Amino acid sequence: MAKQGGKTKPSTKQKPPGNKKKKHKVINWHDYNEALKQRGSLDVWIEKGLAEGWVETPEGGKRKLGGQKKYSNLAITLTLQFGVIFHQRLRQTEGFVRSAFKAMSLFLPVPDFSTLSRRGSSVVVDLPRVPRDKVVVIMDSSGLKVFGEGEWKVRQHGYSKHRTWRKVHLDVAPDGEIRAAELTGNGRADSQVAPKLMAQETAAIEAIVGDGGYDRRTVYEAGLALRVKEFRIPPQKNAKVWFHGNRHAPPYPRDQNLRQIRKTSRKRWKEAINYHVRSISENVFFRLKTIFGDRLQARRFAQQTTETLIKLSVLNKMRLLGMPRTVVVA
């Protein structure tokens, strides 16, 4: 808006036609609607063969007189999973699972809230993943609040020193499946965590897609050690070639990207390599925060890691139930 003669004059500047946002239409509403309803079904989240692996058998086959039950990883993760899905604290989760088991005639003991809190620091959570021979991984990160003020208080009075965040780093496949995850403090750079994410991948990595934060030697060296063929990581705008001349070695992937950008343009280079597939990771973070919120309930880092991994495993299961398919309409 421009001011002229003390009045505000509307701006006549228009956006170029090439920047018009495309509209999409969902073409599988019936199937997607059924998948959304299944997310609230207890049968979907209770695994088969539950009774056999719920309580671990002590050595010798007999429990000492007065000894406590040793719950398996399955019992702890499934109980915590119910709390995540239905947005409940540990005490309410305990009561909910007891009631659900009673309604389903499952006569199994339920871990109490103190056991859930204690075991939450050491339980192993495996991300459900579809087996693949090779995969393109999209790396990205986002913040999760631990404790602090709400947005209204910050807008009115600013935030205090006690506002704390965690950073969740993800490897996502182009179809939206979460392949690897790592929770860190908010001071860890994306490039520092990237090698750990690569090490979690069970399939051969064909290409790595990431923003400029991954333009570091540690990322390239870790990828080359795993024989990654393609790096879709834009070099910084003031970047320089790392290796000049004949090195008696194949051209360095990062230098190849930089030379191609100089030869054409950054925009054309991104279009040629399909760099914009990176938006898939942003969609995953949007789903994570829309379904579960942007705040962690646990107070200790080990339990926060478990809580985050359980949320991500639930997202992968929801993806398998059904996802919307869209087509461009305009």
Q: pLDDT for 2-56, tens place per residue?
A: 455 555 555 555 555 555 677 878 888 888 888 888 888 888 888 777 777 788 7
Strands in 204-209's sheet, in edge-to-edge order, are 178-185, 164-172, 134-147, 204-209, 230-232
Whether residue 163 has pLDDT greater than 70: no
pLDDT-based confidence at 94, cuts 50/70/90? Answer: very high
Specify the DSSP class assigned to residue 299.
Answer: S
Is 10 inside any structural domain?
no
Do residues 101 and 149 both lie within one domain? Answer: no
How does DSSP assign 222-276, residue by residue? HHHHTT--EEE-PPPTT---SS-S--SSPPPHHHHHHHHHHHS-HHHHHHHHTGG
Q: Which structural domain, as residue segments, surrounds residue 179?
A: 134-296
Is 213 inside any structural domain?
yes
Whether residue 211 has pLDDT greater than 90: yes
pLDDT value at position 60? 47
pLDDT value at position 162? 59
Q: What is the mean pLDDT of the segment spanning 174-184? A: 95
Do residues 76 and 223 both lie within one domain? Answer: no
Do residues 285 and 329 both lie within one domain? Answer: no
Whether residue 179 has pLDDT greater than 70: yes
* 215: nearest Cα among 261, 265, 281, 178: 261
Q: What is the mean pLDDT of the segment spanning 48-75? A: 70
How many folded domains does the chain comprise? 2
Is 3 inside any structural domain?
no
